[in-house]
Chain A
Amino acid sequence: DTAVSQTPKYLVTQMGNDKSIKCEQNLGHDTMYWYKQDSKKFLKIMFSYNNKELIINETVPNRFSPKSPDKAHLNLHINSLELGDSAVYFCASSRGHDLGNQPQHFGDGTRLSIL
């Protein structure tokens, strides 16, 4: 019944590794997002996809590559992980990307720790 689900919930890995985080939504939404929450608890958008098309890319390093195989899934692949990538990553979804009155629904986050 989970609306927006992310896997894994926790990810501990070493610097330099490549890892992926998966997100799936069963709400029938056509827009999905990735947000990053750093250690100071600031939440900031990274990417937005609408119907598998990239809409927002907030000057995120190109080590981060989102991939949307279909509109219900948005995965985040990170190459050459760095210490500064340690954060909680949240996936979200909403109906329509050009409407201001559609709320976003968030997953419970993936806690990424780089050793």
Chain B
Amino acid sequence: DAKTTQPPSMDCAEGRAANLPCNHSTISGNEYVYWYRQIHSQGPQYIIHGLKNNETNEMASLIITEDRKSSTLILPHATLRDTAVYYCIVRVVGFQKLVFGTGTRLLVSP
């Protein structure tokens, strides 16, 4: 699986957009970009995934650069409940294993 690089921590004010970057410069054409988050003491929660195109769902938007070497997860209006560790994971088609890195600890403050 391709390696991902994320900043260890980020801060965001409540109500503002949180933009979480992820570098995956060695990504292959058959690898998806996944985002999960883990709120303290809970199981990882699936947020969104994409292959080439930008994606949006009720939780977030995923912007993938044209060369696919990086992506950004956008939480459009962060709330205090979005405080969590966010994991960017690259996963090969045909291989179900998720390889978690250290993620980005997002702190949303009032």
Q: List A residues at the B interface (Cβ < 8 Å).
A: 4, 31, 33, 35, 41-45, 48, 55-56, 58, 90, 92, 94, 97-109
Q: What is the distance, in angstroms, from A40's C-beta to the closest C-beta of chain B?
A: 9
A97–B44 Cα distance when bound, in Å, is 19
Listed in ascending order, the chain B residues whose CB lies under 8 Å from chain A are: 30-32, 34, 38, 41-46, 49, 51, 85, 87, 91-100, 102
Q: Are A44 and B100 in contact (CB under 8 A)?
A: yes
Q: Is the interface of B mostly helix, strand, loop or mixed?
A: loop
Q: Which chain B positions have C-beta within 8 A of A33?
A: 96
Which listed residue (B31, B42, B44, B96) contacts A43, Cβ 8 A?
B44
Nearest-CB residue, chain A, relative to B45: A106
Given contacts A45-B98, A48-B96, contact A100 B32 (CB under 8 A): yes
The residues of B that contact A99 with a CB separation of less than 8 Å are 93-94, 96
* CB atoms of B49 and A108 under 8 A apart: no
A sample of 13 more A-B contacts (CB under 8 A), given A42-B102, A98-B94, is A42-B100, A43-B100, A45-B97, A56-B97, A92-B43, A94-B96, A99-B93, A100-B91, A100-B94, A100-B96, A104-B96, A104-B98, A106-B45
Q: How far is the CA of A58 from the CA of B93 in the complex (A)?
A: 19
* Minimal Cβ-Cβ distance residue in B for A55: B96
Check A56 against B96 for contact (C-beta < 8 Å).
yes
Choose one: A44, A100, A101, A108; the contact of B43 (CB below 8 Å): A108
Q: Does the CB pair A109–B49 fall under 8 Å?
A: no
* B residues near A55, Cβ cutoff 8 Å: 96
Q: Contact between B92 and A103 (Cβ–Cβ < 8 Å)?
A: no
Partner of A106, one of B32, B44, B91, B99: B44
How many Å lie between the Cα of A100 and that of B92 in the bound state? 6
Taking a contact as CB atoms under 8 Å apart, the answer to whether A101 and B51 are in contact is: yes
Q: Report the minimum CB–CB distance from B57 to chain A (whole Å).
A: 11
Q: Which of chain B's residues have a CB closer than 8 A to the CB of A104?
A: 46, 96, 98
